[in-house]
């Protein structure tokens, strides 16, 4: 198994690197074209080229997030992971994001989302504000909301025991959010097991 995994991981790394280099070249070309449009007074075309370059830069940023997607905890399988850059809608959707899906044989599903910039990148901070007004003795059927601490970061944990769902969010720096959502999970610890594997300090430092 290891003999097959190592070449596959290497192939994925090479593919990602080649894609990033291609996106970088396209961004540089678009910025150069935009400069010429500005000189010619064709500002609408210049804006189009700048937006395209921004989209390519966000694609490169998204690829960089993939290395922060952790391996699955014991009993879970990583089903897929992907990265996505955003163009003109970055102010709302964020500049870039990476997602992953984990499942286990008992039917539990956990989705991880890392978002950079925009409102999406600040969702964890908004959730934390809600926690300030949440009581710790809520009806278990409606879900328990509380603050948690991990790697020096404060997060918001919501768990509904009756329908076995939960959400764990962390604000990492000013513009990066990490959200872990689970369905058919026995406890919020399932979400925390995945969150513990994420390099939160690395995310804050590099993004």
| Helix H or strand E segment including 34 | helix 2-40
**pLDDT value, residue 3:** 42
Spatial separation of the C-alpha atoms in residues 57 and 52, rounded to whole Å: 9
The answer to whether 163 touches 182, Cβ cutoff 8 Å, is no
Read off the pLDDT of each residue in 11-19 and give the average, rounded to a whole number: 55
Residues paired with 102 in a beta bridge: 78, 110
Average model confidence (pLDDT) across the chain? 82
Residues paired with 148 in a beta bridge: 155
Question: Is residue 1 scored above 50 in pLDDT?
Answer: no
Question: Is residue 160 scored above 60 in pLDDT?
Answer: yes
**pLDDT value, residue 58:** 82
Beta strands at 153-160 and 144-150: parallel, antiparallel or unpaired: antiparallel
Question: Is residue 181 scored above 60 in pLDDT?
Answer: yes
Q: What is the DSSP string of 90-101?
A: HHHH-SEEEEEE
| pLDDT tens column, 61-107 | 889 999 999 999 999 999 999 988 765 544 444 578 999 999 999 99
Place of tokens 């000013």: 174
**pLDDT value, residue 60:** 86
**pLDDT value, residue 142:** 55
**pLDDT value, residue 126:** 52
The model's confidence at residue 23, banded by pLDDT at 50, 70 and 90, is: confident
Spatial separation of the C-alpha atoms in residues 105 and 129, rounded to whole Å: 35
Q: How far is CA 47 from CA 26, 36, 60, 88, in A?
A: 15, 12, 20, 11
Beta carbons within 8 Å of 194's beta carbon, 6+ residues apart: 70, 72, 73, 76, 102, 110, 112, 180
Residues paired with 154 in a beta bridge: 149
């Amino acid at each position: 198994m290891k003999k097959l995994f190592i070449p596959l991981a290497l192939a994925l790394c090479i593919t990602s690197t080649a894609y990033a280099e291609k996106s970088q070249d396209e961004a540089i070309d678009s910025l150069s074209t935009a400069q010429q449009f500005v000189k010619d007074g064709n500002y609408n075309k210049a804006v189009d080229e700048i937006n395209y370059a921004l989209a390519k830069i966000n694609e490169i940023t998204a690829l960089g997030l993939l290395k922060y997607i952790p391996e699955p905890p014991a009993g879970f399988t990583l089903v897929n992971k992907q990265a996505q850059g955003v163009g003109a809608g970055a102010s709302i959707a964020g500049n870039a994001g990476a997602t992953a899906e984990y499942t286990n044989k008992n039917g539990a599903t956990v989705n991880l989302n890392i978002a950079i910039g925009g409102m999406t990148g600040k969702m964890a901070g908004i959730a934390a504000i809600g926690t300030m007004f949440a009581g710790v003795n809520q009806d278990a059927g409606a879900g328990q909301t509380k603050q948690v601490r991990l790697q020096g970061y404060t997060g918001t944990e919501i768990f509904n025991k009756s329908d076995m769902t939960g959400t764990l969010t962390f604000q990492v720096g000013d513009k990066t959010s990490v959200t872990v959502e689970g369905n058919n999970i026995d406890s919020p610890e399932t979400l925390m097991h995945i969150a513990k594997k994420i390099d939160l300090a690395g995310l804050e430092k590099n993004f």
